[in-house]
Amino acid sequence: MNNERITIERVTEFDSQLIDELSQIEAGAFNDGALNRWTFPVLIRHGAVFLLKCDGKICGVADIIKDWTDPKLAFIVGFAIKEGERGKGLGYKLLSGIIDELRGNGIKKIQLTVDPKSERAVSLYRKAGFKQLAELANEYGPSVDRLLFEFELED
Ligand SMILES: CC(C)(COP(=O)(O)OP(=O)(O)OC[C@H]1O[C@@H](n2cnc3c(N)ncnc32)[C@H](O)[C@@H]1OP(=O)(O)O)[C@@H](O)C(=O)NCCC(=O)NCCS
C-alpha cells in the first residue's frame, strides 16, 4: 500500500455502474442500514459524496449532509472502507481529507453516529479528534444503539 497513489474527490456526476459500485461497498459494511441505489443519487445531488481512490480505484466512500437547523453543522451519513482494504490507515486518511474539505466551507462542527460495538470505527473517530456527545438508545430501531460523536473545526 505504501506506494499507492491515494486521492480524495467529490462525486459530481454518476452513472448506474458507479452507483452499483458504491452500493456494494456499503452492503459490505452495513446490513439493512446500507445506502443504496435509491439514496446515493440523492446524496450526490443534494449532499456530498466523497470517494477515496487507491491507484485510481475506489477504496472508500463518505457521504455528508448539512444540517437543516444549524448551517454550521455537517453530518456524516455514511463512511466505509472497502472490504479487504481496512486496517491500513485508509479510514484515517479519508476522514482527515473530509475534515480538510469541510474546513473553510462555513462548517464548524461535524457529527456522526457509530455502533458502540464497532471498535475500529470508535477508535478511528477518537484518534481523529472526535468527542463522544451522547449515547442514543434505540436510534435506528429496537436495541440498535449508537454513540453520537462530534468534531469541532477551529476558526
Ligand atoms: C471503520 C472503518 C471506516 C475504519 O477504516 P480503516 O481503514 O479500517 O481504519 P484505519 O486503518 O484508518 O484505522 C485503524 C486504526 O489505526 C488508527 N490510525 C490509522 N491511521 C492513523 C494516523 N495517521 N494517526 C492516528 N491513528 C491512526 C485508527 O484510529 C485505528 O486505531 P486502532 O489501531 O486502535 O484500531 C472501516 O474499518 C470500515 O469501513 N468498517 C466497516 C464499516 C464501518 O464500521 N463504518 C463506520 C461507520 S460509523
Assess contact for 153 and 128: CB atoms under 8 A: no
> For the residues 53-72, what does the mean pLDDT come to?
97
C-beta 22 within 6 A of ligand 1: no
Encode pLDDT of 94-119 as tens digits: 999 999 999 988 899 999 999 999 99
Residues above pLDDT 70, as percent of the chain: 99
| Nearest atom within ligand 1 for CA of residue 85 | 7
* Cell numbers at 61, concatenated: 466512500
Q: What are phi and psi of 126, to 5 degrees?
A: -65, -45
Q: How far is the CA of 73 from the centre of ligand 1 (A)?
A: 23
Q: How far is the CA of 15 from the centre of ligand 1 (A)?
A: 29
Amino acid in position 72: K
Longest CA–CA separation in the chain, Å: 45
Q: What are phi and psi of 15, to 5 degrees?
A: -130, 175
**What are all long-range contacts of 147-151, with beta carbons under 8 Å and residues at least 24 apart?**
147/113, 147/114, 147/115, 147/116, 147/122, 148/111, 148/112, 148/113, 149/111, 149/112, 149/113, 149/114, 149/125, 150/109, 150/110, 150/111, 151/99, 151/109, 151/110, 151/111, 151/125
C-beta 123 within 6 A of ligand 1: yes
Mean pLDDT of the chain: 96
Encode pLDDT of 5-18 as tens digits: 999 999 999 999 99
Q: How far is the CA of 69 from the centre of ligand 1 (A)?
A: 30
Structure confidence at residue 155 (pLDDT):
76
C-beta 84 within 6 A of ligand 1: no
* Cell numbers at 52, concatenated: 477515496
CATH code given to domain 6-152? 3.40.630.30
Most ligand 1 atoms within 8 A of CB, residue of 82, 123, 127, 146 to mutate? 127
Is-above-0.85 flag for pTM? Answer: yes
Domain boundaries, the chain: 6-152
